[in-house]
Amino acid sequence: MNELGKRIAETIASQGPISIAEFMTLSLHDPQGGAYASRNPIGAGGDYITSPEVSQTFGEMCGLWLVQCWHNQKQPKKPMLVELGPGRGTMIRDVLRTFHSAARKFLNEAEVVLVEASPVLEAMQREALKDSPAPVRWVKSFSDIVVDRPLYLLANEFFDCLPIHQYLKTEYGWCEKMVGAKDDALILGLKQLPVPDAVLPPGFENAPMGGVYETNPGAEAIMGDIGRGIAAHGGAALVIDYGYTAPAYAETLQAIKRHKYADVLSAPGSCDLSAHVDFSALLRAGGVEGVMTSGPVDQGDFLAELGIEIRAQRLILANANDAKIIVDGVKRLIDPKAMGALFKAVALTRKSDGAPPGFEVRKK
Ligand code: SAH
């Protein structure tokens, strides 16, 4: 076991088993050994690659989406531009460049706030934004932000790394999966006492024996806060991630190390941990009074609808030597066999503002 694994095992020995959520938090954010806290896991040389790192057109399309929403909402004054979990800062840089050319007035009055838990990634974001066209500040958590103005928010691959709880359906009821320690190794076990059925969403009484229920209370709390912010002050939120809408009663927690699947428990902090996002739960939480929820739509359809291919053609005209890289990048983002169908987009806007762009795509 590695150093972080040993420390987790010691905690368990003295205090008892911990939830999967606590294990995820330690694996990702432990100040010494956590996957995000101690190093950069994103990019070709890291554990996994994300859409903004595949092509600049991704951030540009997300930026244009926000610009379009802001225009459609009659350009509200003093907006707040927020990104949750900006990684290496690539997307927010592309977004700010897009605002700079398409909506300079937005930037003149905007406050840019980045929500980042990792000091390593915050340092990379500061570097990426050295020449930012608007002042930027950093906070550790969305709850540190007082939403008192129109909120324009982006989150790509953020919600998938927030900690989940897992429950297994047994003959005694739904029991929470826990991480314990035995013979110098971390192991999975079950809490003896089942949770009351009322804790589960409607329909779960039909789950098969051995089915797994995953829940992400932190993600739902953030979506609720975003929804309330938008209901009160206007704005728009775009969330892109991989996930599902109907429960498969299957577990989706996964560990990725250097672009390959790895064991979740054996070397905490050395691999990335994430779980598929439950879009229905996120939209339920964000869809508070006065808020319209849109999606999910496939990332490929969403980007195509916003005109990513036209943007790629323009880029090629200006950078003919990079034509193949640009075409391949866009293809990877929109091809259903690559990232186009696995990833999905959802949005929150005010009901009174009407439907946001990009969500009118044909239902398949
Ligand atoms: N959006 C980026 C990075 C995705 S990785 C991209 O698409 O490339 C997830 C990001 O969320 C990282 O920046 C990570 O440090 C941050 N993060 C993870 N958990 C967090 C938490 N609980 N609070 C704040 N930031 C968090």
Tens-digit pLDDT profile for residues 215-224: 999 999 999 9
Q: How confident is the model at residue 280 (pLDDT cuts 50, 70, 90)?
A: very high
**196 CA to middle of ligand 1, Å?**
32
Instruction: Give the per-residue pLDDT at 43.
Output: 81
Q: Which atom of ligand 1 is nearest to the CA of 140?
A: 24
**161 CA to middle of ligand 1, Å?**
7
120 lines ligand 1 (CB under 6 A): no
List of residues 6+ apart from 319 with CB closer than 8 A: 326
Q: What mean pLDDT do residues 13-26 have?
A: 96
Query: Taking all residues of the chain, what is their mean pLDDT, rounded to a whole number?
Result: 94
**74 CA to middle of ligand 1, Å?**
31
In angstroms and rounded to an integer, the radius of gyration of the C-alpha atoms of the chain is 21
Q: How confident is the model at residue 50 (pLDDT cuts 50, 70, 90)?
A: very high
Instruction: Give the per-residue pLDDT at 362.
Output: 54
Condensed to tens digits (0 to 9), the pLDDT of residues 294-317 reads: 999 999 999 999 999 999 999 999
**210 CA to middle of ligand 1, Å?**
31
Q: Which atom of ligand 1 is nearest to the CA of 53?
A: 8
Q: What mean pLDDT do residues 270-284 have?
A: 94
| Helix, strand, coil percent content, the chain, rounded in steps of 5 | 40, 25, 35
For residue 216, count CB atoms less than 10 angstroms from its CB and return exposed for 0-12, middle for 13-18, buried for 19 or more: buried
End-to-end CA gap in the chain: 47
Length of the chain: 364
Q: Which atom of ligand 1 is nearest to the CA of 85?
A: 11
Minimal-distance CA residue to ligand 1 atom 17: 85
**139 CA to middle of ligand 1, Å?**
12
Q: Which atom of ligand 1 is nearest to the CA of 51?
A: 7
| Range in 84-98, 193-207, 350-364 with the lowest mean pLDDT | 350-364
